[in-house]
């Protein structure tokens, strides 16, 4: 899919000097972006590149993932050994988490990580459109090992489906709230200014903006319940949070760096709107103590990101898990990268 975009733009991601994230990329470029508000950055120390993470041939990618402040000794050892399955979120006990679009890519990897934690959530809700279909089987196979995994059918753009899933989750939680909602489901079809149609724009907006809006609204009572029941005072993913999976491609300020490489106009517009929704949620839900943050996962080798992307799913989710662990009110209403750096709008 992306290949066709590259061809259309007469640019090859391999032959071009362009690197996702800007110009001739330096090793530390993702960390060296001109962030407009450094006070929001999560200041966690960098550790050496993880063993077993192979840089893409010909790429100057050097993912330096971060050691979470709240990581346990056991996790730290595993990180350094390259197991990469249990880092992050260890300090904050998260009672329950829900991930949309959880049957593949980043969503599936997030579910695996939560399930693999030494102190996993009591319930991990994993939602997808068709859990019984062929594309739901990898997710489904996890249930045999993890009784705390609860798969929910959810079409995020269908209000009835969203309401039904929220009722099932409420029943399953038996009086407890939902601590962490990760709006991960999204689509990125090819779309240029020339090719864009009304249907393209509306379909992508429906999935990438309306879906997260409906899901957040439906699960809000459970998030409020978790926030109020928590003994924590500050904001965190362990207490109550909405994480909207956004992208640097939704940053208007950063658009010139990537536009000709990957125009995806419908996707960009929808994700910029998702950033605004995140800001609105951060305003509306602040009093409730619900953390609202948008996260850029990097350019990841998924069905959406293509196999030409910089990061493996594991590398991206390493970073995201660490970021989630460290989020606080400082990142409320902010767009952060999988490395915890704030991006400009």
- 190 is written with which tokens? 């090819």
Q: Which of 97, 102, 213, 313 binds a copy of itself (CB under 8 A)?
A: 213
Phi/psi at 303 (nearest 5 deg)?
-60, -35
| Residues composing the chain | 345
- 47 is written with which tokens? 């550790």
Buried b (16+ CB within 10 A) or exposed e, 138-168: ebbebeeebeebbbbebbbbeeebbebbbeb
Q: Is 283 in the site for a copy of itself (CB under 8 A)?
A: yes
- 74 is written with which tokens? 């056991």
Side-chain-side CA neighbours of residue 85 (13 Å) = 8
β-bridge pairing 334-337 and 180-183: unpaired
Q: Is 56 in the site for a copy of itself (CB under 8 A)?
A: no
Rg (CA), the chain: 19
Q: Is 280 in the site for a copy of itself (CB under 8 A)?
A: yes
- Sequence-ordered list of residues with C-beta below 8 angstroms from that of 134, at least 6 positions apart, any chain: none
Whose structure tokens read 């909207």? 244
Q: Which of 255, 308, 328, 329 binds a copy of itself (CB under 8 A)?
A: 255
Phi/psi at 103 (nearest 5 deg)?
-90, -5
Q: Which of 136, 186, 250, 297 binds a copy of itself (CB under 8 A)?
A: 250
| Residue 277 Cβ vs a copy of itself, minimum distance, rounded to whole Å | 6
Q: Which of 32, 38, 260, 307 binds a copy of itself (CB under 8 A)?
A: 260
Q: Is 14 in the site for a copy of itself (CB under 8 A)?
A: no
| 8 A C-beta contact, residue 300 and residue 251 | no
Closer residue to a copy of itself (CB): 27 or 260: 260
Name the segment binding a copy of itself (CB under 8 A); options: 19-27, 61-69, 107-115, 213-221. Answer: 213-221
Q: Is 246 in the site for a copy of itself (CB under 8 A)?
A: no
Q: Is 279 in the site for a copy of itself (CB under 8 A)?
A: yes
Residue 22: how many CB atoms within 10 A of its CB?
18
Q: Is 8 in the site for a copy of itself (CB under 8 A)?
A: no
Mind giving me the DSSP string for 86-100? S-SSSSS--SEEEES
Q: Residue 264 — left, alpha, or beta (φ > 0 → left; ψ -120 to 50 → alpha)?
A: left
Contact characters 306-325, a copy of itself, x per CB under 8 A: --------------------
Closer residue to a copy of itself (CB): 76 or 286: 286
Contacts to a copy of itself from residues 138-197, by CB under 8 A: 157, 159, 192-194, 196-197
- Sequence-ordered list of residues with C-beta below 8 angstroms from that of 276, at least 6 positions apart, any chain: none
Closer residue to a copy of itself (CB): 64 or 276: 276
Q: Is 345 in the site for a copy of itself (CB under 8 A)?
A: yes
* Rounded Cα–Cα distance for residues 176 and 103 (Å): 25
Name the segment binding a copy of itself (CB under 8 A); options: 86-94, 104-112, 252-260, 300-308. Answer: 252-260
Q: Which of 42, 102, 209, 323 binds a copy of itself (CB under 8 A)?
A: 209
Q: Which of 206, 288, 308, 329 binds a copy of itself (CB under 8 A)?
A: 206
- What kind and span of H or E run contains 281? helix 265-284
Q: Is 277 in the site for a copy of itself (CB under 8 A)?
A: yes
Q: Is 272 in the site for a copy of itself (CB under 8 A)?
A: yes
Q: Is 236 in the site for a copy of itself (CB under 8 A)?
A: no
Q: Which of 130, 138, 163, 253 binds a copy of itself (CB under 8 A)?
A: 253
Residues that bind a copy of itself (CB under 8 A): 36, 157, 159, 192-194, 196-198, 201-202, 205-206, 209-210, 213-214, 216-217, 250-253, 255-256, 259-260, 263, 265, 268-270, 272-273, 275-277, 279-281, 283-285, 333, 344-345
């Amino acid at each position: 899919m992306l290949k066709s975009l590259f061809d259309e733009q007469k640019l090859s991601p391999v032959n071009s000097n362009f690197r996702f994230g800007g110009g001739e990329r330096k090793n530390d470029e993702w960390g060296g972006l001109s962030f407009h508000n450094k006070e929001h950055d999560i200041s966690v120390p960098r550790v050496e590149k993880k063993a077993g993470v192979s840089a893409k041939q010909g790429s100057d990618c050097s993912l330096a993932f971060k050691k979470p402040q709240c990581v346990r000794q056991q996790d730290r050892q595993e990180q350094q050994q390259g197991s990469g399955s249990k880092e992050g979120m260890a300090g904050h006990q998260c009672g329950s988490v829900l991930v949309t679009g959880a049957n593949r890519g980043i969503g599936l990897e997030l579910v695996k990580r939560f399930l693999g934690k030494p102190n996993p959530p009591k319930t991990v809700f994993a939602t997808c459109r068709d859990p019984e279909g062929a594309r739901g089987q990898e997710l489904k196979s996890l249930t045999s090992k993890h009784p705390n995994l609860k798969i929910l059918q959810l079409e995020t753009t269908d209000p009835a489906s969203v309401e039904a899933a929220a009722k099932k989750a409420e029943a399953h939680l038996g009086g407890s709230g939902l601590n962490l909602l990760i709006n991960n489901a999204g689509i990125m079809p090819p779309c240029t200014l020339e090719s864009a149609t009304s249907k393209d724009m509306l379909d992508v907006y429906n999935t990438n903006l309306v879906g997260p809006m409906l899901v957040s609204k439906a699960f809000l009572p459970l998030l409020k319940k978790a926030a109020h029941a928590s003994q924590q005072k500050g904001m965190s993913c362990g207490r109550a949070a909405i994480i909207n999976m956004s992208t640097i491609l939704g940053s208007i300020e950063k658009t010139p760096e990537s536009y000709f490489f990957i125009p995806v106009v419908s996707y960009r517009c929808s994700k910029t709107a998702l950033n605004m929704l995140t800001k609105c949620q951060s305003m509306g839900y602040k009093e409730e103590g619900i953390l609202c943050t948008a996260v850029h996962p990097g350019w990841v080798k998924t069905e959406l990101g293509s196999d030409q992307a910089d990061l493996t799913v594991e590398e991206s989710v390493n970073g995201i898990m660490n970021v989630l662990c460290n989020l606080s009110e400082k990142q409320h209403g902010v767009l952060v990268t999988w490395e915890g750096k704030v991006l400009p709008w």
